[in-house]
Amino acid sequence: MHGVAILGSTGSIGRNTLDVLARHPERFRAVALSAQRQIDVLYDQCITHRPDLAAVVDEAAAARLRERLAQAGSATRVLAGAAGLEAVATAEGAQSVMAAIVGAAGLRPALAAATAGKRILLANKEALVMAGAVFMDAVRRGGATLLPIDSEHNAVFQALPRGYAGNLGAAGVRRILLTASGGPFRTLPLERFAAVTPDQACAHPNWVMGRKISVDSATMMNKGLEVIEAHWLFNAPPSAIEVVIHPQSVVHSMVEYVDGSVIAQLGNPDMRTPIAHALAFPERIESGSTRLELAAVAALSFEAPDPERFPCVGLAYRALEQGGAAPVALNAANEVAVARFLDGGLGFDRIPALVEAVLARTPSAAVHDLDDVLEVDAGARRAAAAWLDKNSAVRVAPAARAGG
C-alpha cells in the first residue's frame, strides 16, 4: 500500500488527489491531511479517508477538529501550526507528499518533505519561485524524487525523454513551450480592466481552481511563475522557455527538438490527469477524467501573449534574469496585490503596477538559505503595503470568500 500525505487537502488539488486515491483503494491510502481554514471539509475528509494524522494552521481550530473527530470515534491525530504541517510533510507512512498549499505558506513543509527524502508531487509554485536553488538543493541532499503536478510542467515532463538528466542540449531539445489559456480577459478591451471584479477574475473559462490562482491566470502571472518553475525543474535557461496562448486548454505544453519535431501532451482540462500520472509514475492508472474527443474540439488555436495586456509575464522573465532576491519579491508582491484585489481594495489593472514597483525597489542580493528567502519575502511585503498606502486604489466590490 502506497501512503500519500496531502498538504492542502481541502483545496482543488487536494480534493482531486483524494478523488484519484479513492479510485484505487487497493493501491493508495491517504495517511496525512492538512488544511488552513476549511475545518468542516477536513472533518469530512478525515471521516471518509481515515488518515493517521491531520493538521490545521490555527490551534483553536485544531482543538475543535480534535473534539469532533473524537466524538465520531475517529483515531486520526490532530496537530496545529507550522509543526503540524511539517509532521504531515514527513509522515512516516507516506511515501509520496502532495505539496498543494497555495502561496508562501507551502514553502517550509515542502522543504521538510524534500529533506525527508519523500517522493514530492509538487503543485506549490512558490517552492521553486521563491526558493528554487534552496529547494532543489534540499531535493538532492535528501534524495527526494520531484514530480511536477502543474498541468504545464507535467506535460513537459511527459514530452521530454524518459530519464531526462537536466541538459536540454544533450537531450536534443531546442525549447520548452508553455501553453496558457489566456484566462477570462484574453479579448476584453484594456479600458475595461479597471472595472473587473473578483468574481469575474475567478470565473476561468476552462479550469476550476482556487481564487488566488484564478486571479493569477487572469493576469497571466501564473504563467510567469511557471516560467520560473520550468527553469528550475528542467534546468532550462529563460531563452529556452516560451509562452504561447492556447485558449482551448487541450494542449497542456510542448517540447521542441532540434530536428524540428514538437511533442505535445494533450488532454481535457482536468487536474486529475497529471495527479494520476505523478501518483503512479512510471505506470499509468485511470484518473476519472473524460476522454478527449478531438473531433468535438474541432480546432486548436495558438497566439503570442500581448505584453501590454499581460505585463506580468514580462515581469516574471525580468525577475528570473535578475535571480537572487528578485523572484522572491515578485511572488510576495503578487500575493499582496491579489489579496488586496480580492478584498476589494485594489483595481485589477493595478496588480502589475504594484508588482513592478516592488520589484524595482528590491536590492539585488543572493539567496543562500530559507532564512534569506523569508527575509526578502517579508521586506517585499512591507514594500507592497507601503505602495498601497501611498497609491489610491480603484475599489471594486469584494466577492464572497471561497476555496481552500
Instruction: Pull the grid cell for residue 128.
Output: 521553486
Domain 311-390 sits in CATH at 1.10.1740.10
The packing angle between helices 351-361 and 326-342, to 10°, is 150
Beta partners for residue 292, in sequence order: none
pLDDT for res 359: 95
What's the CA gap between 87 and 80, in Å, rounded?
A: 10
Contact 152, 264 (CB under 8 A): no
Whether domain 2-148 has CATH 3.30.413.10: the reply is no
Distances (CA, A) of 306 to 103, 243, 314: 26, 11, 10
Asked whether residue 400 carries a pLDDT value surpassing 60, the answer given is no
Pairing verdict, β 262-266 and 251-257: antiparallel
What's the CA gap between 63 and 61, in Å, rounded?
A: 5
What's the CA gap between 272 and 276, in Å, rounded?
A: 6
Instruction: Pull the grid cell for residue 166.
Output: 537536466
- Average the pLDDT over 102-128 and give the result: 91
Give per-residue pLDDT as tens, 241-273: 999 999 999 999 999 999 999 999 999 989 999
Beta partners for residue 265, in sequence order: 253
What's the CA gap between 12 and 275, in Å, rounded?
A: 12
Beta partners for residue 4, in sequence order: 30, 96
pLDDT for res 211: 83
Contact 46, 74 (CB under 8 A): yes
Beta partners for residue 237, in sequence order: none
Q: How big, in percent rounded to 5, are the helix, strand and coil portions of the chain?
A: 50, 15, 35
Q: Where are the domains of the chain?
A: 2-148, 156-182+220-297, 311-390
Instruction: Pull the grid cell for residue 167.
Output: 541538459
Give per-residue pLDDT as tens, 350-362: 999 999 999 999 9
What's the CA gap between 294 and 270, in Å, rounded?
A: 16
- Average the pLDDT over 89-118 and give the result: 93
> DSSP class of residue 291?
P
- Average the pLDDT over 18-31 and give the result: 97
Asked whether residue 231 carries a pLDDT value surpassing 60, the answer given is yes
Contact 305, 246 (CB under 8 A): no
pLDDT for res 394: 46
What's the CA gap between 110 and 102, in Å, rounded?
A: 11
Asked whether residue 380 carries a pLDDT value surpassing 60, the answer given is yes
Contact 326, 364 (CB under 8 A): yes
Helix H or strand E segment including 29: strand 28-35
Contact 100, 61 (CB under 8 A): no
- Average the pLDDT over 169-190 and give the result: 93
Dihedral sign for Cα 351, 354, 355, 356, please. positive
Is the model more confident about 296 or about 213? 296
Percent of the chain exceeding pLDDT 90 equals 79
Percent of the chain exceeding pLDDT 70 equals 96
pLDDT for res 364: 84
Name the most confidently modeled range: 199-203, 207-211, 308-312, 390-394.
Answer: 308-312
pLDDT for res 125: 83
Asked whether residue 145 carries a pLDDT value surpassing 80, the answer given is yes
**Mean pLDDT (the chain, rounded):** 92
Backbone angles phi, psi at 147, to 5 degrees: -125, 125
Distances (CA, A) of 39 to 4, 43, 61, 134, 244: 20, 6, 7, 32, 39
What's the CA gap between 280 and 28, in Å, rounded?
A: 10
The mean-pLDDT minimum among 41-45, 143-147, 207-211, 248-252 falls in 207-211
What's the CA gap between 19 and 51, in Å, rounded?
A: 15
Asked whether residue 403 carries a pLDDT value surpassing 80, the answer given is no
What's the CA gap between 351 and 219, in Å, rounded?
A: 8
Helix H or strand E segment including 177: strand 173-180
Asked whether residue 143 carries a pLDDT value surpassing 90, the answer given is yes
Contact 127, 135 (CB under 8 A): yes
pLDDT for res 404: 36
What's the CA gap between 328 and 325, in Å, rounded?
A: 5
